[in-house]
Structure 1
Amino acid sequence: MTLEQFTDKDGQLARRYEYDDGAVLAVDFGSQREDAAVDVVDCTVIVVVGDEQYEIDLPESADDANTFIKNGVLTVELEGDL
């Protein structure tokens, strides 16, 4: 799944912010989604929200990925030469 596919859903926001040493991906699942969970397996971010599962493939050039969900917003911090 690409980041742009998240914006196909009504009211859902997804952004990518580029920096010199990496990037940040942010996806808003809505503040009502306290049952969301996130994990990284190999180069894939797996997000489970209720009964739905989303997968985001990360660039292989990313050295490290830190993920967390707070108030329904998924944040993925990527380091490396993207």
Structure 2
Amino acid sequence: MTLEQFTREEGQVARRYEYEDSTVMAVDFGTEEADASVDVVDGTVIVVLADDQYEIELPETAENAHTFMKNGVLTVELEEEL
């Protein structure tokens, strides 16, 4: 599921920031979800919150995805291939 599909279906607040050589996506799951885990597998960000799992597909042009969660906010940093 893409970021736009994910936020529309799940009701999350998300933003996407485009820079010259990178893209940053942020999804706010809320502070009650601060203990979530996140990983990237084969171009998909997988977020596990308690008993729920969410998957967000990354763009095919994305290289070197870096993910982290802080205070319930998922941040995905993507380096674009030039």
Normalised TM-score (structure 1): 0.88
Q: Which residue of 2 aligns with 1:36?
A: 36
**AA at the equivalent of 1:37:** S
Q: Which residue of 1 aligns with 2:71?
A: 71
Whole-angstrom distance in 2 between the partners of 1:26 and 1:3: 10
More helix by share: 2
Normalised TM-score (structure 2): 0.88
Whole-angstrom distance in 2 between the partners of 1:7 and 1:27: 12
Size of the alignment, in residue pairs?
81
- What percent of counterpart residues are identical? 65
- What's the CA shift for 1:48? 0.5
- What's the CA shift for 1:35? 2.4
Q: Which residue of 2 aligns with 1:18?
A: 18
- What's the CA shift for 1:77? 0.2
CA contact (8 A) 2:29 2:74 kept: yes
What secondary structure is seen at the aligned counterpart in 2 of 1:32? Answer: helix
Runs of 4+ in 1 over 6 A off after TM superposition: none
